[in-house]
């Protein structure tokens, strides 16, 4: 197990573990000795069976909860509290119903500080890029699920976080909507040269979007295997990609390792 | 990334879907508005019918002498009493007195209650320490405090405001606190991931998220404030709707009691409709929900 601190690596998890104390006073192991890295500009997926503590892992990484064991390094350093430059996105869009779409996108910028006009310009730009330019002043309650999640994506990207931590952000969407938003996410993440850690239970999503896929076991979660995804052709064409032979091979391989019963 | 050279083509694919979405939403909205309007008319019609039948029955029974107009009053008697108080102008002074007491108590009680309730969000420890005290205070029947408020605040305007405030404040604390604690923890995590300070989370999330509950509390407590003011007037007063009701009751002027009650009901309806209007104005995003 390497304990080398690498300042050029945005995110390193070293021997990370988490146990909770149950009401009965027993220690419940959720995550046991997980180590991996996320390199600059890389997209890495963590896949695992449901209930394997993926969300706990994500909260550990951004220091919303303390690990019982191991360390998390952000650019080679241990962060004191929540690290800077994290974009956090969940399955729930978490849009504020009292704010219009554009005001929701401005939320993260507002926390960081700066002028309102600059925030608005940046938010408008992102909404335009995600095909929601005409809906800037709509309240979330008037938007469809896919549109809402696009607004959430814009909100996540607006403060230009260095590392994106996504926890099943597309799993509540129908297939077509999902493919479209995945494609836009891929494009924006690559364009902005961000690093993305995607937590998902959707193997096909993981293979189609990632440079690497890490497979987690059931609870207590450990790393089962790691796959570097090398597929020929246009990686942005997610439908064509799903039909390639290499794709099916990766998916089948990961499925067998997932240990779902 | 050379393979992403055609972004304009890929972006536009979202636009036609968006405009279709907008068009169907427009149609659906007009249809919904028409249906809702028709339903509202039906409800109103039934309400008027109920009222007319009830009043008619009452008038008929008292006019024929089956029911004593002296003990139960009569619609015509109530109407005459109402006209009389309007003619001599006393209804306006009583109405103003009670309205002012109610509004002052309502405002004071809600400002204190909401501020306290929301600020309890800051410390779970303090809120848990205070919980039994708040519940104890809430379980006291407000009328039992009337003698003390007269001793402390006198027999004038201040003691009515105190009664009204007391009727409002505990409910207001509990509702605001529930609202603040009801904020989605994932929402808080999102703010924490943005490294937002606790104060920023409070201002940007907790306060606006509690507004729905706070306004529900306002609608509820506007009635409590009125009750507090009237109870205060019952104890000792020289004017006000409660004063008139009490006086007329002691004189067996039942129709006059009902006449003042009608005025009280109108006051309550006006006050609560003001709160609803303010809510619509302040929380425009809730328009289609009400």
Domains of chain B, by residue range, sit at 7-63, 73-289
Q: What pTM did the predictor assign?
A: 0.80
pLDDT score recorded for residue B10 = 41
* Alpha-carbon gap, residue A32 to A19, rounded angstroms: 8
Q: Kind and range of the H or E element at A250?
A: helix A245-258
Q: Which residues contact A78 (CB under 8 A, 6 or more apart)?
A: A71, A72
Answer yes or no: is pLDDT of A233 > 90: no
Q: Is A94 left (phi over 0), alpha (psi -120 to 50) or beta?
A: left
Q: Which one, of A8, A7, A66, A67, lies nearest residue A35 by Cα?
A: A67
Which is more confidently placed, A51 or B163? B163
**To the nearest whole angstrom, how far is the Cα of B273 from the nearest Cα of chain A?**
22
Which is more confidently placed, B62 or B14? B62
Judged by CB atoms closer than 8 Å, whether chains meet at B200 and A111 is answered as: yes
pLDDT grade for B121, boundaries at 50, 70 and 90: very high
- Please check whether residue B284 is in contact with residue B231, taking contact to mean a CB–CB distance below 8 angstroms: no
* Alpha-carbon gap, residue A79 to A99, rounded angstroms: 32
pLDDT grade for B21, boundaries at 50, 70 and 90: low
Q: Which one, of A254, A259, A260, lies nearest residue A225 by Cα?
A: A254
Question: Searching chain A, which residue's CA lies closest to the CA of residue B188?
Answer: A94
Answer yes or no: is pLDDT of B209 > 60: yes
- Residue listed under structure tokens 């995550």: A31
pLDDT grade for B290, boundaries at 50, 70 and 90: very low
**Percentage of chain B with pLDDT > 90?**
70
**To the nearest whole angstrom, how far is the Cα of A142 from the nearest Cα of chain B?**
9
pLDDT score recorded for residue B284 = 80
Answer yes or no: is pLDDT of A261 > 70: no
**Percentage of chain A with pLDDT > 90?**
31
pLDDT grade for B112, boundaries at 50, 70 and 90: very high
pLDDT score recorded for residue A79 = 81
Answer yes or no: is pLDDT of B148 > 80: yes
Tokens found for residue A189: 């993440």
pLDDT score recorded for residue A224 = 84
For chain A, the average pLDDT equals 87
State in Å, rounded, how far the first CA of chain B is from the last one: 49
* Alpha-carbon gap, residue B73 to B62, rounded angstroms: 8
pLDDT score recorded for residue B283 = 85
Answer yes or no: is pLDDT of A223 > 90: no
Residue ranges with strand state E in A67-193: 69-74, 77-78, 86-89, 163-167
pLDDT score recorded for residue A260 = 62
Q: Starting at the earlier edge strand, list the strands of the sheet with A27-38.
A: A27-38, A11-21, A69-74, A77-78
Q: Which one, of B105, B161, B172, B162, lies nearest residue B138 by Cα?
A: B172
Whether B214 contacts chain A with CB within 8 A: no
Give pLDDT tens digits for B54-83: 999 999 999 998 989 889 999 999 999 999
Cα→Cα distances A245→A195, A232, A249, A250, Å = 27, 10, 6, 9
B196 phi, psi to nearest 5 deg: -75, 140
Judged by CB atoms closer than 8 Å, whether chains meet at B18 and A131 is answered as: yes
pLDDT grade for A174, boundaries at 50, 70 and 90: confident
Give pLDDT tens digits for A76-131: 888 888 888 899 898 899 999 999 999 999 999 999 888 999 999 999 999 998 98
DSSP assignment, residue A2? -
Judged by CB atoms closer than 8 Å, whether chains meet at A235 and B200 is answered as: no
Closest by Cβ to B193, choosing from A86, A97, A184: A86
Answer yes or no: is pLDDT of A229 > 60: yes
* Alpha-carbon gap, residue B138 to A147, rounded angstroms: 45
pLDDT grade for B259, boundaries at 50, 70 and 90: very high
Answer yes or no: is pLDDT of B87 > 50: yes
* Alpha-carbon gap, residue A122 to B1, rounded angstroms: 23
Answer yes or no: is pLDDT of B9 > 60: no
pLDDT grade for B20, boundaries at 50, 70 and 90: low
Judged by CB atoms closer than 8 Å, whether chains meet at A96 and B208 is answered as: yes
Judged by CB atoms closer than 8 Å, whether chains meet at A142 and B25 is answered as: yes
* Alpha-carbon gap, residue A88 to B191, rounded angstroms: 9
Among A6-10, B12-16, B255-259, B282-286, top mean pLDDT goes to B255-259
Answer yes or no: is pLDDT of A138 > 90: yes
For residue A261, what are the β-bridge partners? Answer: none
Answer yes or no: is pLDDT of B2 > 90: no
Q: Starting at the earlier edge strand, list the strands of the sheet with A43-47.
A: A86-89, A163-167, A195-200, A43-47, A212-216, A223-228
Q: Which residues contact B183 (CB under 8 A, 6 or more apart)?
A: B205, B206, B209, B210
pLDDT score recorded for residue B287 = 61
pLDDT score recorded for residue A1 = 45
Residue B206, Cβ density class (10 Å: 0-12 exposed, 13-18 middle, ≥19 buried): buried
Among A55-64, A239-248, B195-204, top mean pLDDT goes to B195-204
Tell me which of A49-53, A88-92, A216-220, B86-90 is least confident: A49-53
Measured at the CA of A91, the angle between CA A88 and CA A92, to 5 degrees, comes to: 90
pLDDT score recorded for residue B17 = 56
Please give the torsion angle defined by the CA atoms of residues B117, B123, B125 and B127, in that order, rounded to the nearest 10 degrees. 0
- The CATH code of the domain at B73-289 is 1.10.3720.10
pLDDT score recorded for residue A3 = 52
Q: Which residues contact B224 (CB under 8 A, 6 or more apart)?
A: B167, B168, B171
Q: Which of A43, A55, A97 should one mutate to test binding to chain B, selecting the residue with the greatest count of B CBs within 10 A? A: A97
Closest by Cβ to A64, choosing from B1, B11, B192: B192
DSSP assignment, residue A8? T
**To the nearest whole angstrom, how far is the Cα of B191 from the nearest Cα of chain A?**
8
For residues A134-162, give the mean pLDDT.
92
């Amino acid at each position: 197990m390497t304990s080398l601190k690498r300042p050029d690596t945005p995110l390193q998890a070293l021997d990370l573990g988490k146990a909770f104390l149950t009401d009965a006073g027993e220690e419940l192991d959720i995550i046991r000795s997980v180590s991996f890295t996320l390199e600059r500009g890389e997209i890495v997926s963590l896949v695992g069976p449901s209930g394997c503590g993926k969300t706990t892992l994500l909260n550990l990484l951004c220091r919303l909860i303390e690990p019982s064991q191991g360390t998390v390094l952000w650019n080679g350093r241990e962060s004191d509290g929540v690290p800077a430059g994290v974009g956090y996105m969940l399955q729930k869009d978490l849009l504020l119903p009292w704010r219009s779409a554009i005001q929701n996108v401005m939320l993260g910028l507002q926390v960081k500080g700066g002028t309102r006009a600059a925030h608005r310009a940046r938010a408008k730009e992102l909404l335009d890029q995600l095909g929601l330019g005409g809906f800037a002043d709509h309240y979330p309650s008037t938007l469809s699920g896919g549109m809402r999640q696009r607004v959430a994506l814009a909100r996540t990207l607006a403060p230009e976080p260095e590392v994106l931590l996504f926890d099943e952000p597309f799993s509540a969407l129908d297939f077509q909507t999902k493919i479209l938003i995945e494609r836009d996410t891929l494009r924006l993440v690559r364009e902005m040269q961000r690093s993305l850690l995607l937590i998902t239970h959707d193997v096909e999503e993981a293979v189609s979007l990632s440079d690497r896929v890490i497979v987690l076991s059931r609870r207590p979660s450990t790393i089962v295997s790691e796959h570097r995804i090398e597929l020929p052709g246009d990686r942005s064409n997610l439908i064509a990609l799903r039909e390639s032979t290499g794709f099916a091979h990766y998916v089948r391989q990961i499925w067998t390792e997932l240990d779902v019963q | 990334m050379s393979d992403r050279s055609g972004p304009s083509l890929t972006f536009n694919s979202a636009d036609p879907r968006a405009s279709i979405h907008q068009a169907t939403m427009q149609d659906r909205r007009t249809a919904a508005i028409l249906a809702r309007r028709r339903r509202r008319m039906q409800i109103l019609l039934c309400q008027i019918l109920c009222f007319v039948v009830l009043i008619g029955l009452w008038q008929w029974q008292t006019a024929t002498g089956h029911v004593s107009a002296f003990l139960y009053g009569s619609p015509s008697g109530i109407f005459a009493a109402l006209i009389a108080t309007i003619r001599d102008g006393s209804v306006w002074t009583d109405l103003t007195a009670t309205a002012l007491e109610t509004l002052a108590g309502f405002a004071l009680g809600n400002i204190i209650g909401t501020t306290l309730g929301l600020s309890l969000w800051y410390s779970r420890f303090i809120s848990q320490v205070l919980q039994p005290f708040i519940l104890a205070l809430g379980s006291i029947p407000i009328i039992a405090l009337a003698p003390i408020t007269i001793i402390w605040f006198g027999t004038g305007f201040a003691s009515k405001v105190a009664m009204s405030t007391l009727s409002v404040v505990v409910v207001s604390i509990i509702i605001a606190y529930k609202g603040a604690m009801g904020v989605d923890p994932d929402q808080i995590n999102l703010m924490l991931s943005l490294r937002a300070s606790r104060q920023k989370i409070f201002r940007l999330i907790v306060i606006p998220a509690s507004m729905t509950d706070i306004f529900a509390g306002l609608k509820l407590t506007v009635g409590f404030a009125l009750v507090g003011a009237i109870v205060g007037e019952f104890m000792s007063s020289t004017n006000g709707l409660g004063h008139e009701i009490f006086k007329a009751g002691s004189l067996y002027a039942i129709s006059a009691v009902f006449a003042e009650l009608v005025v009280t009901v109108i006051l309550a309806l006006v006050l609560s409709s003001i709160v609803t209007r303010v809510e619509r104005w302040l929380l425009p995003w809730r328009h289609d929900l009400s």
